[in-house]
Amino acid sequence: MGVPLKEKIKKRKKRLLPEKGFIRRSLESEEWRRIERIYKEATPVVLVTVLMEIIAGLELLRVSDYYVLLPGLLLIIPGLMEARGNVVTSLAQRLGSSAHLGLINWDLGINDEVKVNWTATIILSSLLSFVLSLLAYLTAVILKMPHMSFWGFLSIALLMTLIVGTTLSSLTVLVVLLAHRLGLDPDNVTIPIVATLGDIFAVGSLYFIIRIVLFMDHFIKII
């Protein structure tokens, strides 16, 4: 006589369904803990940055009224914002790796690893400011658009690097060191925080930068 049907079904069920305690074991696994940690650490940060980004976006619409004060400003602002974001997220990634390798931490303070990365970021920002100013100026000349002088574009770009770039790079160092000290993974939290802070600073500083350039123009012809 063959195996009873009941037994057959039981065996098949055992094969198809996971063993008893599978869910509990899965939830205790290293992979689940990893997923849980990413979710727990990154989600609150990303949600707060979403709120800040939406508010910054609305503010940017308001600040855009000032764009007309400096002809050609719209040619350089998107590029500057993009470049600043790219430079600072690279810094955050490098410092995140350095923290994991034990090369930087709160107790070591501002050591060579931090100094080298910070300085390289400022140099890269200045280099990009120059390239973007040249591109904006040439675009305006070729397309015969109303524009300020090359020095006007360069002043705005360098002022943004000076004000936003240096503050943001320093804040990136602080966020990485602080996250590491608080037991958080810098890789999970630093990038969303600094990318959003960058947008907020950039939007907030635009008004002042426009004012500074207009003020400077009284003494040296740059517009």
Partner 1 sequence: MKARFTIKQIIKQSAPVLIGVTLFSVITGRNLENSAELVTHHVPVLLVALPAFINIAGDLADVFCSRLSSELYRGNLDSNFRPLRLFLADLIGVLLVGITSFIFVAIFANIITDIIFGKIVSYLYLILIMVTAGVTATFVMMLVGAFLSRWAYLKGLDPDSIIAPITTTGGDMVGTTLLLFLASWILI
Contacts to partner 1 by CB under 8 A: 30-32, 34-39, 42-43, 46-47, 49-51, 53-54, 56-58, 60-61, 78-79, 82-83, 85-87, 89-90, 92-94, 96-98, 100-101, 103, 108, 111-113, 115-117, 119-120, 123-124, 127-128, 131-132, 135, 185, 187-188, 190-192, 195-196, 199
- Which lies closer to partner 1 via its Cβ, residue 110 or residue 182? 110
- Which lies closer to partner 1 via its Cβ, residue 76 or residue 209? 76
- Which lies closer to partner 1 via its Cβ, residue 35 or residue 68? 35
- Which lies closer to partner 1 via its Cβ, residue 85 or residue 152? 85
At residue 27, the 3 state secondary structure works out as helix
Smallest separation, CB 120 to partner 1 (Å): 4
Smallest separation, CB 68 to partner 1 (Å): 17
- Dihedral sign, Cα of residue 152, residue 158, residue 162, residue 163: positive
- Which lies closer to partner 1 via its Cβ, residue 119 or residue 211? 119
In 158-190, which positions are buried (b, 16+ CB within 10 angstroms) versus exposed (e)? bbbbbbbbeebbebbbebbbebbeeebbbbbbb
Smallest separation, CB 39 to partner 1 (Å): 5
Smallest separation, CB 139 to partner 1 (Å): 9
* DSSP state, residue 220: S
- Phi/psi-derived region of residue 109, left when phi > 0, alpha when psi is between -120 and 50, beta in every other case: left
Cβ(66)–Cβ(107) below 8 Å: no
Smallest separation, CB 7 to partner 1 (Å): 35
Taking the CA of residue 210 as centre, how many other CA atoms within 13 Å lie in the half-sphere pointing to its CB? 20
Place of tokens 């705005």: 156
- Which lies closer to partner 1 via its Cβ, residue 8 or residue 100? 100
Cβ(147)–Cβ(75) below 8 Å: yes
Smallest separation, CB 11 to partner 1 (Å): 29
How many angstroms from the chain centroid is the CA of residue 90? 8
